[in-house]
Structure 1
């Protein structure tokens, strides 16, 4: 009894005073203002009133619109719990056009109406003109399940705050419709069109959309079956396309871009395609707000004359690039990385490329779609992009283990370490160091990359490498520089020079040194969507090296050619087939080449299941196939099968047979963890027992 009195007292006090305890404040749809909750003065746990909520909401709207990139709509709702004297406050933000109200008006009025939850549009939600047709299709399908045919029209009112009214006219569905004489449309298409409203007018409109303006219909009903006989007649062609309002661009330019040909069959879909192509041309040549609409279709003896109304609305240029979320990378580096040029003509294609360049750089975890704002009183469009900056640096280690083979009995470990600084001081300069130890081989590699030399698109790279083999008693030092010139976002050309010194044991305990001076060239095509863990695309690299070697035994010419190709075929949303093929050959008239001058084969980067650099040859070729199950941006599980071979001549396929072909198979995974990227591959070589496979452990920590 005391509890009941206490509850009634609380309710009475809350009614008298009008105050409520706030259970929670939910703000949804706030995309361009990250700290939107801080703008609303009422907090969870506060004691408030309806008036206080209204005042706080008004201040929230004013503050939000000052910070938002677009004009916004707001919807406030308060859910009260009278027993507890508390409430839940919900604020829905819609940036751009939004739905203020939504209504269904059936005829007759007492007719059933579908539930609003079937529709894409919701009160307080965003407005999308393209989704209105989908909403009408859903309602027609709902009525069809109830043996009713619905004719639905929609009216939208308001520029930013939309009021949507669906007018619905109902009639009983036809028991059965049959069609005769139709050649252009099939039975299913005609039945779908005729089910929406009165059959004959609906069918006539359908045929008119495809240029059959002389079509005629004859309808006969018997029992519960209606047979409609169709006489299609000839299809009308396009006679011409006339334009009004294209002050800056001549008609021939626009029609050429749309691939329009006089005399081609008329259809409304083709008219829409012409308009879309012309809009694309305008958007890519400085007219982002251009509008094109059909004025009229005139049917004559020579065909259909289409008249289009064009509103160009001025030519715009790019203004400033604003990137949000990049704490490390400097704005100037991001601008160059994105290829953004202030003052250039606005281009929608260039806007999309800008986003793709940032996403492919691997500096950012996510890159959102760009938004544009227009500077007041100027035809200048500023670009706004929000990014989530990723880790720029990485430390990577790999350990290989191979059980002792028969006759050797020694278990072998191999080690690999990689350190990369990918964005030094936020300038996109990069530095990397690689170390490999595979007894008796020891090698190291140091590389530095300077982007945008002298403010140009050209980048420069310097490299220093060291390689020694204790068993063969030789050491190779090499230095080189090269420049990389981009032809496009996907194609680059490189050229450079290199010098190497090869010290080896000649005869007995005497050592000799050969020096090689070489020129480098190559072309690279990279169309992968995300190089670190691609889901689709392809990659092709063709490097060439030519040099002269001077040593104790003479002067020799050397030429090396390589080809590396990758292709990734998507197999659904989370699976992909990865294929890689590589070929490398060395042409040299030096008969005393040591192992360090040959190409290695075997290990984690070539043919898995074998030791690192287990085989060497003047010519090698290998192929890798993986069926990948993608578990994240950088995570995957894969089943793999690798092939490889070595030879002493460039025509490697003449020397390869089923007996000397190397192949490995197995499984592996790469998983992003809190400690970094963890990768393990277990590979089995040809004729190897299951327990004698090679384990490749890779740990990559980003920071």
Structure 2
């Protein structure tokens, strides 16, 4: 595999850098090949004996099998799917029977096959059975010998080839993870001994281990990073210059870097040793466009001559790798209608103070119709415990400022809340943009201490409304991607939301909203309100490219809300339709056409979005 390097990296990286670090498959192949050569002469004498007439076709109605003990008659007859075979087909079939015996460590099986009238007779001589007696290690260093011998696992002595291969792989893995990427294992010699009156042939394996030079990452070379700084890449890869080479860390390196979103491809790492004995690691990356811009503008004309038209729109700007430092800066503004808009700002410092903690702060403001204004300010701390698991926390302050209409219609009080949110994310998707397989799971729990600072004039008795109350929120999102055929996968997404409060009446500002592009397609954005929501997204996707797909979908939703008279209202809604995501020079264009429950084909809604990467 060739490696594309800049001139500076190319000059510093040794020319003989040819050891690719996916796994020491070369060494494993050498060991396996040596094993095949060692027993090849034995297997020559183990070829099945086919005694058959010279006819070109073998035809029979009945099968009689004798001499079999290791395999049952049912196992052997199961291979015969028809009653007429050409000579070539028949010899292949008998070879399959011999393979079954070899898998049971009986490589010396002989099969005598004859046909008489309409009966096929198979007389089987199973031969001796191989058994792994011992594995001895020839290691140049006695300390190595003490480390490696306890790693041997000989519990399954009947499966000779599989057990030897497993132990060779286990030994190589240990060496690779302790600084020896060029370790080699060869079969030095074999010893055979018959046991139990010649029924078992015990084999002793003598393995020669050459660990090679112990390698440290004295130099780490990175090519292709035109924007992202080298220290950021090493930090995300969790590599340190001068550290001991460990294969398990190097194997996870491409996946770790891909999950940052900074790159579209990460090449297979390569290791080499220069003439001074120093270890050099090369990482080849292809940078993508981690920053994004979403922009939509619309105009709603006046419904009557007395009214004026108004503009709607969305601007979503996100710098996911600010100036190549890995920092995140996000701004979001959306005006949904004449009286509603959202504003968000968020900043994240990855690896704050050199530790694996992502610290951030943000501000949010939501103007909902002419009923209330919500503001939220807070700080976030995310801790990636592993490549798959991240712990989240948020500490913030929220305020609800009701308008006069909100006080009249919904008796909204003015309130301030101190809140704490904790949760975790598990993400095993191989491609967050267009996953073909994997699981994404996220759950969050929010605890808030809500203080009512003033009540609407319509509330004359403040006994049950004023004061400080506890409010709890629970949120869950799970998405499972199951591959079916090539370039095709099924998405099953399950989501849930619930809010509880000790207030006499749950505020409309605390309710969750359902409907629209990201939840229940085929319905207007935020069409439904509820204190308990659940929705299901099913999609059958055909992956058109790394970031493009076409799909059919079915969505279902559940909404529960306590009404003014304390009665509980429950609704279930569903929708279906199709959509696609296409990557273009302008960005990723997304169009979903959803048909809501009972709305008919002509009553479907089109959801359009554009995400531009820059």
Settle same-fold status: TM greater than 0.5. Answer: yes
Equivalent residues in 2 for 1:78-97 (5 A)? none
Match for residue 280 of structure 1 among 162, 173, 195? 173
Q: 1: distance between equivalents of 2:589 and 2:111? A: 72
The 1:606–1:412 alpha-carbon spacing in structure 2 relative to 1, beyond 3 Å, is farther
Match for residue 232 of structure 1 among 117, 120, 126? 126
Aligned to 2:135: 241
**Does the CA contact (< 8 Å) of 1:266 and 1:304 recur in 2?**
no
Q: How much does 1:607 deviate?
A: 0.4
Write the deviation string for residues 344-373 of structure 1: whole angstroms up to 9, x where unpaired.
321222112111111222211121111111
Write the deviation string for residues 605-635 of structure 1: whole angstroms up to 9, x where unpaired.
1101111111111111111111111111111
The 1:207–1:311 alpha-carbon spacing in structure 2 relative to 1, beyond 3 Å, is farther
Equivalent residues in 2 for 1:322-333 (5 A)? 322-333=221-232
Q: 1: distance between equivalents of 2:151 and 2:220? A: 30
**Does the CA contact (< 8 Å) of 2:554 and 2:577 recur in 1?**
yes
**Does the CA contact (< 8 Å) of 1:400 and 1:695 recur in 2?**
no
Q: 2: distance between equivalents of 1:423 and 1:336? A: 14
The 1:342–1:602 alpha-carbon spacing in structure 2 relative to 1, beyond 3 Å, is same
> Is 1:477 matched up with 2:375?
yes
The 1:288–1:194 alpha-carbon spacing in structure 2 relative to 1, beyond 3 Å, is farther
Aligned to 1:584: 497
The 1:232–1:67 alpha-carbon spacing in structure 2 relative to 1, beyond 3 Å, is same
Aligned to 1:516: 417
| TM-score, normalised via structure 1 length | 0.68
Aligned to 1:677: 588
> Is 1:270 matched up with 2:163?
yes
Q: 2: distance between equivalents of 1:583 and 1:433? A: 26
Aligned to 1:306: 205
Q: 1: distance between equivalents of 2:529 and 2:396? A: 22
Q: How much does 1:248 deviate?
A: 6.6
Write the deviation string for residues 96-137 of structure 1: whole angstroms up to 9, x where unpaired.
99xxxxxxxxxxxxxxxxxxxxxxxxxxxxx99979x99xxx
Write the deviation string for residues 166-194 of structure 1: whole angstroms up to 9, x where unpaired.
xxxxxxx99789996455596989x9999
> What do you get for the CA RMSD once the two structures are aligned?
4.4
The 1:502–1:263 alpha-carbon spacing in structure 2 relative to 1, beyond 3 Å, is closer
Write the deviation string for residues 405-457 of structure 1: whole angstroms up to 9, x where unpaired.
xxxxxx99964331101111110101111223223432111111100111111
Match for residue 357 of structure 1 among 232, 237, 256? 256
**Does the CA contact (< 8 Å) of 2:224 and 2:287 recur in 1?**
yes
Aligned to 1:100: none
> Is 1:534 matched up with 2:534?
no
Q: 2: distance between equivalents of 1:204 and 1:614? A: 67
Q: How much does 1:395 deviate?
A: 0.5
Aligned to 1:691: 602
**Does the CA contact (< 8 Å) of 1:400 and 1:694 recur in 2?**
no
Q: How much does 1:554 deviate?
A: 1.2
Aligned to 2:190: 296
Aligned to 1:391: 289
**Does the CA contact (< 8 Å) of 2:4 and 2:284 recur in 1?**
no
> Is 1:464 matched up with 2:363?
yes
**Does the CA contact (< 8 Å) of 2:342 and 2:367 recur in 1?**
yes
Aligned to 1:502: 400
Aligned to 2:476: 563
The 1:32–1:218 alpha-carbon spacing in structure 2 relative to 1, beyond 3 Å, is closer
Classify the secondary structure of the residue corresponding to 2:264: strand
Aligned to 2:317: 419
Aligned to 1:5: none
5+ unaligned residues in a row in structure 1: which ranges? 1-28, 37-64, 73-94, 98-126, 135-150, 152-172, 405-410
Aligned to 2:242: 343
Q: How much does 1:234 deviate?
A: 6.0
Match for residue 452 of structure 1 among 341, 351, 354? 351
The 1:567–1:96 alpha-carbon spacing in structure 2 relative to 1, beyond 3 Å, is closer
Q: How much does 1:461 deviate?
A: 1.6
Q: How much does 1:648 deviate?
A: 3.4
Classify the secondary structure of the residue corresponding to 2:328: strand
5+ unaligned residues in a row in structure 2: which ranges? 21-25, 34-40, 42-52, 59-64, 81-86, 197-201, 303-308, 455-465
Q: 1: distance between equivalents of 2:256 and 2:233? A: 10
The 1:607–1:69 alpha-carbon spacing in structure 2 relative to 1, beyond 3 Å, is farther
**Does the CA contact (< 8 Å) of 1:174 and 1:195 recur in 2?**
no
Q: How much does 1:579 deviate?
A: 1.5
Equivalent residues in 2 for 1:637-656 (5 A)? 637-648=550-561
Q: 2: distance between equivalents of 1:193 and 1:292? A: 39
Q: How much does 1:231 deviate?
A: 2.2
The 1:293–1:395 alpha-carbon spacing in structure 2 relative to 1, beyond 3 Å, is same
The 1:208–1:539 alpha-carbon spacing in structure 2 relative to 1, beyond 3 Å, is closer
**Does the CA contact (< 8 Å) of 2:561 and 2:569 recur in 1?**
no
Classify the secondary structure of the residue corresponding to 1:698: strand
Q: 2: distance between equivalents of 1:96 and 1:496? A: 45
The 1:554–1:192 alpha-carbon spacing in structure 2 relative to 1, beyond 3 Å, is farther
> Is 1:548 matched up with 2:446?
no
Aligned to 2:3: 32
Q: 1: distance between equivalents of 2:480 and 2:156? A: 42
The 1:243–1:488 alpha-carbon spacing in structure 2 relative to 1, beyond 3 Å, is same
Equivalent residues in 2 for 1:196-235 (5 A)? 211-212=105-106, 215=108, 217=110, 229-232=123-126, 235=129
**Does the CA contact (< 8 Å) of 2:5 and 2:224 recur in 1?**
no
**Does the CA contact (< 8 Å) of 1:32 and 1:68 recur in 2?**
no
Classify the secondary structure of the residue corresponding to 2:129: coil
Classify the secondary structure of the residue corresponding to 1:354: helix
Q: 1: distance between equivalents of 2:114 and 2:356? A: 74
Classify the secondary structure of the residue corresponding to 1:237: strand
The 1:211–1:390 alpha-carbon spacing in structure 2 relative to 1, beyond 3 Å, is same
Classify the secondary structure of the residue corresponding to 1:648: strand
Aligned to 1:615: 528
- Equivalent residue pairs, number: 540
Q: 2: distance between equivalents of 1:455 and 1:443? A: 34
Aligned to 1:6: none
> Is 1:606 matched up with 2:507?
no
Q: 1: distance between equivalents of 2:232 and 2:265? A: 17
**Does the CA contact (< 8 Å) of 1:559 and 1:588 recur in 2?**
yes
**Does the CA contact (< 8 Å) of 1:639 and 1:667 recur in 2?**
yes
Q: 1: distance between equivalents of 2:174 and 2:544? A: 39
